[in-house]
Amino acid sequence: MLETLHNLAVGFSVALSPPVLLYAFVGCVIGTLVGVLPGVGPLAGISLLLPATFGMDATRAIVMLAGIYYGAMYGGSTTSILMRIPGEAASVMTCIDGYAMARKGRAGAALAIAAVGSYVAGSVSVIGLMLLAPPLAAFALRFGPPEYFALLLFGLLVLAYMSSGSMLKSLAMAALGLLLGMVGIDQMSGYFRFAYGIVELGDGLGVVPVAVGLFGVAEILATAGQPVPPKVIEPRLRELLPSRTEWRQSVGPIGRGTVLGFLVGIIPGSAHIISSFVSYALEKKLSKHPEEFGHGAVAGVAGPESANNSATSGAFVPMLALGVPSGPIPAVMLAAMMVHGVSPGPLLIRQQPELFWGFIASMYVGNVVLLILNLPLVGIFVNLLRVPYPYLYPAILTFSILGVYAVNGSVVDVWIMLVMGVLGYVLRKLDFETAPIVLGVVLAPMIELALR
Amino acid sequence: MLSVDRVAGAALAVVALFVLWESRTLPLGSLANPGPAYMPVVLALLLLVGGIAIAAVGGQTPPFSSLAFPEWRHALAIFLACAFAALALERLGYRLTVTLVLLFLLGVVERKRPVATIVFAAAFASGTYFLFDTLLRVPLPRGPFGI
């Protein structure tokens, strides 16, 4: 325990240094924007901003990208509560009771409960991450290729099982993702596979063009040309303070959402999305007045919002300790860390303690920054939604092209993004989940190496 | 009946058969010593089984003809704009390419006012170039005359 506290103190000395603090702040602001803007989820946000971190050192880059991830969880609640539009998928459940509260004139209270619940869950779950990751990493040092193969396969299977749609379809998508991950030079024999003479495909399909295509471009293709979004309910600052009853009603759900979110986060799958759904169902089940759900129940906002924030920390546990991403967002984070020469896994904590503990400490700092950002500055973020979509989507599309091109300076990546965009658009129409494809692309080389 | 899942399952099976066909030129190896074609073949077989299963159990899903694509004009325009960007990026440079893409999307597809379109396109292209290339030192391609 003393050693953990000492390490945490080292981490805070890194996290509170002005440059790291600045990048944590920038990450949180961008993450909030990503969460607020419908159609730009944390996955696309992290992928797009990855090239912007190339000039930074590894700690600053990872702190900023993590800030985008949990910032998006905070920001996603704003549009859910004020417009009934989930800024990102994890906020879908908040739409139901958050918007109902807003229509009753309790928009400010709903936003405050969401922000405080997110803050508590975010801070408490980091303790879980801090205590669980180092012993898990020490245990994983005993793993050989067979254990890793089983672990990676287990991750994919659980992701398919936990997906919201048909399990059969999700498994097919995981197989498709793994097949896409086979493109390029075979690491063991040097054979070119499915590259058709395109030299740039030798390194395989990059996770960034695949993720941006499947999530960012596909979303734009599907939503452009639709009617303007509904009216925004604007909260007044003096309404931000919840009543004593509302506080009392939110304490239990925040606590339960924190624990539940962290546990679901560790399990492979789209943890932040699943955790909010499970939390909502749990709160409804436990409530003495389940009939209030759907009509502005405080627990329907506090539980899911706490759970999706807590899940982000939980998702970092297998990624940092085992080097195994538990979902598409940790997969992109893993790729980002590798770009910066950091190999997440059992040796990370031992070999780069400053980075690991600095990252943990920056999450505490980031949660405070987000609490400050999300309450008084909510009006500013809401104004973003006034940018007409016909101006917004070309800008997002341009950022996608820029972000994907800048990773390798290759036009081939832009083509891959475009093809994946069309594939994602078609798969959406056919009611297929695309998250297993991204995870498959990332895990394919690891699984194959462990098998052989 | 040609349902959504039947078409989707058949499409996946076709992809799997294509991978199996393409894998024939690579050494397969064995379970004890897998070759470069081993994993692709195993995965393609799994995809083939998955595709057939989706098609087999998907008879109750809505008919394929009921799928609506009301946004197809916008989607096609966006696809063409992206394809143009991929072709032009290294030939015309980032700023010129992005300006042209935005002029097309805002002026032609969205029919925004010409002045607003030109100002937005030029400002966005120059602004993002300055932010990424100059400030963040992410090298972006330049076109003729160093634009």
pLDDT tens for residues A52-101? Answer: 777 778 888 888 888 888 788 777 777 778 766 665 666 767 877 888 88
Contact between residue A421 and residue A218 where contact means Cβ atoms under 8 Å apart: yes
Binary contact (A414, B86; C-beta < 8 A): yes
Within a 13 Å sphere around the CA of A108, how many CA atoms are in the beta-carbon half? 13
pLDDT number for residue A227: 59
Query: Closest partner residue to B79 among A182, A193, A418, by Cβ?
Result: A418
Round to whole Å and give the CA distance between B56 and B49.
10
Binary contact (B51, A223; C-beta < 8 A): no
CA A35 from centre of chain: 10
Query: Closest partner residue to A225 among B37, B74, B138, by Cβ?
Result: B74
Binary contact (A390, B79; C-beta < 8 A): no
Is A141 a residue whose pLDDT tops 80? no
DSSP tally for chain A: helices H, then strands E: 20, 2
pLDDT number for residue B50: 92
**How near does any CA of chain B get to the CA of A37, in Å?**
18
**How near does any CA of chain B get to the CA of A339, in Å?**
14
Query: Closest partner residue to B74 among A224, A447, A448, by Cβ?
Result: A224
Query: Closest partner residue to B124 among A186, A395, A411, by Cβ?
Result: A395
Interchain CB contact of B57 with A (< 8 Å): yes
Round to whole Å and give the CA distance between B45 and B19.
9
Q: Where are the domains of chain A?
A: 2-451
- Copy the structure tokens of residue A189: 């024999």
pLDDT number for residue A297: 87
One pLDDT digit (tens) per residue for chain B, 147 residues? 688 889 999 999 999 999 999 998 888 888 888 888 999 999 999 999 999 999 998 878 888 888 888 888 888 999 999 999 999 999 999 999 999 999 999 999 888 899 999 999 999 999 988 887 887 777 888 888 777
Is A232 a residue whose pLDDT tops 60? no
Rg (CA), chain A: 21
Contact between residue A243 and residue A286 where contact means Cβ atoms under 8 Å apart: no
Round to whole Å and give the CA distance between A76 and A381.
11
Binary contact (B105, A394; C-beta < 8 A): yes
Round to whole Å and give the CA distance between A26 and A28.
5
Round to whole Å and give the CA distance between A193 and B25.
10
pLDDT band (50, 70, 90) for residue A270: low
User: Terminal CA-to-CA distance of chain A, rounded, Å?
Assistant: 40
Round to whole Å and give the CA distance between B22 and B96.
40
Tens-digit pLDDT profile for residues A324-341: 777 777 888 887 888 888
Interchain CB contact of A18 with B (< 8 Å): no
Provide the 8-state DSSP code for B136. S
Q: Which run of H or E residues covers position A192?
A: strand A192-193
CA separation, residue A431 to residues A164, B8, B39, B40, B61 (Å): 11, 10, 27, 25, 10
Return residues 378-437 of A near B (CB < 8 Å). 390-391, 393-395, 397-399, 401-402, 405-406, 409, 411, 414-415, 417-418, 421-422, 425, 429-432
Round to whole Å and give the CA distance between A163 and A427.
15
Is A215 a residue whose pLDDT tops 80? no
Q: Which range scores top for mean pLDDT: A85-94, A290-299, A378-387, B32-41? A: B32-41
Instruction: A389-394: list long-range contacts, CB under 8 Å, 24+ apart.
Output: A389/A223, A389/A224, A389/A226, A389/A228, A389/A229, A390/B106, A390/B110, A390/B112, A391/B106, A391/B112, A391/B120, A392/A37, A393/A39, A393/A220, A393/A223, A393/A224, A393/B78, A393/B105, A394/B101, A394/B102, A394/B105, A394/B106, A394/B110
Find chain B residues with C-beta within 8 A of A51's C-beta.
132, 136, 138
Tens-digit pLDDT profile for residues A167-183: 888 889 989 999 999 99
Higher pLDDT, A425 or A153: A425
Contact between residue B100 and residue B84 where contact means Cβ atoms under 8 Å apart: yes
Tens-digit pLDDT profile for residues B53-77: 999 988 788 888 888 888 888 889 9
Round to whole Å and give the CA distance between B98 and B82.
10
Find chain B residues with C-beta within 8 A of A395's C-beta.
124
> Which ipTM value was assigned to this complex?
0.92
Instruction: A389-392: list long-range contacts, CB under 8 Å, 24+ apart.
Output: A389/A223, A389/A224, A389/A226, A389/A228, A389/A229, A390/B106, A390/B110, A390/B112, A391/B106, A391/B112, A391/B120, A392/A37
Q: Specify which residues B29 forms β-bridges with.
A: B34
Query: Closest partner residue to B47 among A175, A217, A402, by Cβ?
Result: A175
Round to whole Å and give the CA distance between A15 and A64.
11
